[in-house]
Structure 1
Amino acid sequence: MNMPQHPRSPHHVGEATTVVMVSLDRIRVLNPRARNKQVFAKLVENISSLGLKRPITVTPSSDQDNTGFFELVCGQGRYEAFCALGEREIPCVVVSAGETDRFLISLVENLARRKHTNKDLLYSIQILSDRGYTTKQISMKTSLDPTYINAILLLLRQGEERLIAAVEKGWLPISLATMVARSSDTEVQIAMVEAYETGVLKGEQLIKVRRLIDRRRFLGKHYGQKRSTTEQPTTPQKLLSTYQTEVRRQQVMLKKADINEQRVLIIVTAMRRLLADDYFCTLLRSENIADMPKSLADRINGEG
């Protein structure tokens, strides 16, 4: 049965402007996605109590043997929820779209979701690239900087799951991630020193990046990946490289120790002056602050 006219959406390709009821057994899901069971259960409960808020998007089947059938473009979760509820029909927006357009519609819908992950976007970028889209074209479609797109494609093609995860969480700069992906272990160590000296990495962030690089070297680029137990023979070059790497690591530690020592001296000097002020000492007593860390007290008293 036909339903009232549905306004044309900028996310839809084609000329369809009507919502129609389509039998569930006439819809094919050509590229199904695995779903979180708890999230899906909430979706089913929501549709059961409130009804369907938005129709799914389908396109007529391109297979001549399936005339009268439709291929799902967007709304797999809503479609499966209707199936789980025992419904026979579901409201649909029918669009006329080729394979490329169907993918773009699905991508736009996914980006418009309230809860979407960066991982969805990253792998959608890879799919667009695999389909022949240039970096400039992908940039125009996603509103992302071409340099960022090139960097992400490099990480994806090299299978750098650990680096990508760190970039997603926001504590590893994309420029440093691509440098690590392109560089040898020795070059990575040099870059870490430079990143510290220039202030790109600081404090806890430097420690997290160091741990990430160590895990990547010993456990591999992928999560759950097992490194080969066959070790290469030790050579003088390998020993020299290991020695140089350790020297650079200790240089970074010394630089951090120097900076922390300077900060402690500033604190000790400031506390000495404050404790010499009678008003400040009276304020401490009124606030019932009668002690301080022993290591700090020893430094203030000239000990340690």
Structure 2
Amino acid sequence: MQIPDILPMKDRRYLMIPAEKVKVINPRIRNEEQFQLNVQSIDNNGMLMPIRVNDKFLEKTGLYELICGEGRLIAHQRLGKTEIMAEVVTCTRKEAYLQSLIENLARSNPGTMVFARELKQLHDENWDYTQIGKLCCRTPEYVRQYIGLVEKGEDRLIQGVEQGVFPISFAILVAQSDDGNIQNVLMDAFDQGIVNCQNFARARRIVGARLQRSSQANGNGKKDRGSMTVSMLKKDISDLTKAKDSFVREAASKENRFLTLLTAINTLWHDEAFVGLVKEEQINNRPELVGKFGYET
């Protein structure tokens, strides 16, 4: 499957279209509290990025099919706006669906099952591991193992990998081991330095939760929870919540810094004197960008 090309800005088509004529094809679940802040931001500042729609079936159905920008569309509707700025493209439904998947992947936090399932959906659409790896900056082997965990329903192990608790090689080993041998696998990983002292307790909790789920799924679930108490459970939940909030803040901060840098680079690249200078110094090769980011031309 060929990865869609990124069109230069000058070749793109932008139109104000009726919001009521946009049909959502691939809806997403969103956090309502965060979404309300997004609605308020659009109300205060306007929409900074157009939605993208497919007009291939407009004459037949009278509707544009949404590729990306569902949140911006819903925000406009809640604010009572009747029109919305859109980048209009013409493509097949499958191409539109793939673009929507890629957009969702770029917006999903790594470590969540949403991110993991987006990878699997791309693979189901005949993308190979190398293509997916380039898209999410991972090796083909990593993607293959990652998708294997998704297919086995190993939600907790995937989150452990992406949160840096243990490497994917350990997650694969746990997924392939019998329940009775998993504790030995964990201790071996600790002895070999695969799981360090700092993350050992978190790894043990993840593996323990997986064992409990497996036991319940096999009809062997018992009320024996070892030494786990209500206070310990509350502390675990509190620690995990704090860790999640920290990851979200860090990701948002890094994205904002990157977008600021990208804006500055795009501005400089329209300066003829600057372009001439970097060409003269033979340093005009810019790194390739993946996902939702791209250079202006």
Q: 5 Å matches for 1:70-219?
A: 70-110=64-104, 112-113=106-107, 116-119=109-112, 120-219=114-213
Report the 3-state secondary structure (helix = DSSP H, G, I; strand = E; otherwise coil) of the residue aligned with 2:165.
Answer: coil
Q: Give the Cα–Cα distance (whole angstroms) in 1 for the partners of residues 13 and 170 of structure 2.
A: 49
Which amino acid in the other structure matches residue 23 of structure 2? Answer: R
Report the 3-state secondary structure (helix = DSSP H, G, I; strand = E; otherwise coil) of the residue aligned with 1:201.
Answer: coil
Which amino acid in the other structure matches residue 93 of structure 2? Answer: E
TM-score under structure 1 normalisation? 0.63
Question: Could you tell me how far 1:111 is from its partner in structure 2?
Answer: 5.1
Contact 2:105 2:115 in 1 (8 A): yes
Q: Give the Cα–Cα distance (whole angstroms) in 2 for the partners of residues 116 and 186 of structure 1.
A: 33
Report the 3-state secondary structure (helix = DSSP H, G, I; strand = E; otherwise coil) of the residue aligned with 1:90.
Answer: strand
Report the 3-state secondary structure (helix = DSSP H, G, I; strand = E; otherwise coil) of the residue aligned with 2:207.
Answer: helix
Shift in CA distance, 74/160, structure 1 to aligned 2, threshold 3 Å: same
Name 1:55's counterpart in structure 2: 50
Contact 1:14 1:97 in 2 (8 A): no
In the TM superposition, what whole-angstrom CA distance separates every residue of 1:159-204 from its partner, at most 9, and x where no partner exists?
Answer: 0111112112211211100111111134433422321221212324
Q: Give the Cα–Cα distance (whole angstroms) in 1 for the partners of residues 116 and 8 of structure 2.
A: 23
Question: Could you tell me how far 1:121 is from its partner in structure 2?
Answer: 3.1
Shift in CA distance, 57/96, structure 1 to aligned 2, threshold 3 Å: same
Q: Give the Cα–Cα distance (whole angstroms) in 1 for the partners of residues 90 and 66 of structure 2.
A: 12
Report the 3-state secondary structure (helix = DSSP H, G, I; strand = E; otherwise coil) of the residue aligned with 1:220.
Answer: helix
Moved more, 163-172 or 115-124: 115-124
Shift in CA distance, 45/162, structure 1 to aligned 2, threshold 3 Å: same
Q: Which has the higher contact order (CA 8 A, sep 6+)?
A: 2
Question: Could you tell me how far 1:139 is from its partner in structure 2?
Answer: 2.2
Contact 1:11 1:109 in 2 (8 A): no
Which amino acid in the other structure matches residue 38 of structure 2? Answer: L
Which amino acid in the other structure matches residue 17 of structure 1? Answer: R
Tell whether 2:17 aligns with 1:19: no
Question: Could you tell me how far 1:12 is from its partner in structure 2?
Answer: 5.2
Name 2:259's counterpart in structure 1: none
Contact 2:111 2:158 in 1 (8 A): no
Q: How many pairs are equivalent?
A: 217
Contact 2:53 2:66 in 1 (8 A): yes
Moved more, 12-21 or 136-145: 12-21
Contact 2:58 2:64 in 1 (8 A): no
Gaps of 5+ in 2: 222-297
Shift in CA distance, 111/213, structure 1 to aligned 2, threshold 3 Å: closer
Q: Give the Cα–Cα distance (whole angstroms) in 1 for the partners of residues 121 and 162 of structure 2.
A: 18
TM-score under structure 2 normalisation? 0.65
Contact 1:57 1:95 in 2 (8 A): yes
Gaps of 5+ in 1: 1-8, 232-304
The alignment-based identity, stated in percent, is: 30
Contact 1:16 1:95 in 2 (8 A): no
In the TM superposition, what whole-angstrom CA distance separates every residue of 1:22-75 from its partner, at most 9, and x where no partner exists?
Answer: 111211001211211111111111111111111110001538740x32000010
Which amino acid in the other structure matches residue 191 of structure 2? Answer: E
Contact 1:160 1:181 in 2 (8 A): yes
Report the 3-state secondary structure (helix = DSSP H, G, I; strand = E; otherwise coil) of the residue aligned with 1:58.
Answer: strand
